[in-house]
Amino acid sequence: MSIWQDNCALLAQILRHEARQNPALQRRLAIVEVLWERGFMPWQALVESVEAKLEPGIFGASPRKRLWNDLHWLRDAGVAIGYSRGRGTTGYFLRVASLSEPIRTAFEQIGRELDFEHLERLKKVPGWRKIEAMFGMIEFAYDVSAAGRRSLERGE
């Protein structure tokens, strides 16, 4: 068992700190977030959406090449990103079906309970602040999960 299996909160804290200082990681996290929110997106629209979330020009002078490199990095990291050439569904997408059933069910429930007025307010929040909040939520979910696991281990 590694230190990271028992300390996801520590890993999330390190990742959050790194994301604040690393534009490449900010872009990559934003790519996943945009694909999760919007689904199928051609590369130009994906770049524009990520830049709108973070800052214009975050992809530099060669956005297509940088996006390709980021997508390759994310895929190597285990993020299931696909590309479709289907009519009406052309572009990159996040393969939600690759998520485990409990995680997919949780995401679907969250989607049903979304407060759309709150989402409109969130559009005005800077991208880095949203990423920071996302890691806070991950830490919270891990803490709740760890507490439940400890209760089961003690037979409570």
> Per the domain annotation, does 138 fall within a domain?
yes
> Per the domain annotation, does 156 fall within a domain?
no
> Per the domain annotation, does 82 fall within a domain?
yes
User: 124-153 pLDDT, tens per residue?
Assistant: 777 777 777 777 777 777 777 766 666 666
> Per the domain annotation, does 30 fall within a domain?
yes
> Per the domain annotation, does 89 fall within a domain?
yes
- Alpha-carbon distance of 40 to 105, in angstroms, equals 21
Q: What range defines the domain where residue 32 resides? A: 3-151
User: 21-39 pLDDT, tens per residue?
Assistant: 888 888 888 898 888 888 8
> Per the domain annotation, does 106 fall within a domain?
yes
Nearest to 47 by CA among 34, 146, 37: 34
- pTM value > 0.95: no
Q: How many domains is the chain partitioned into structurally?
A: 1
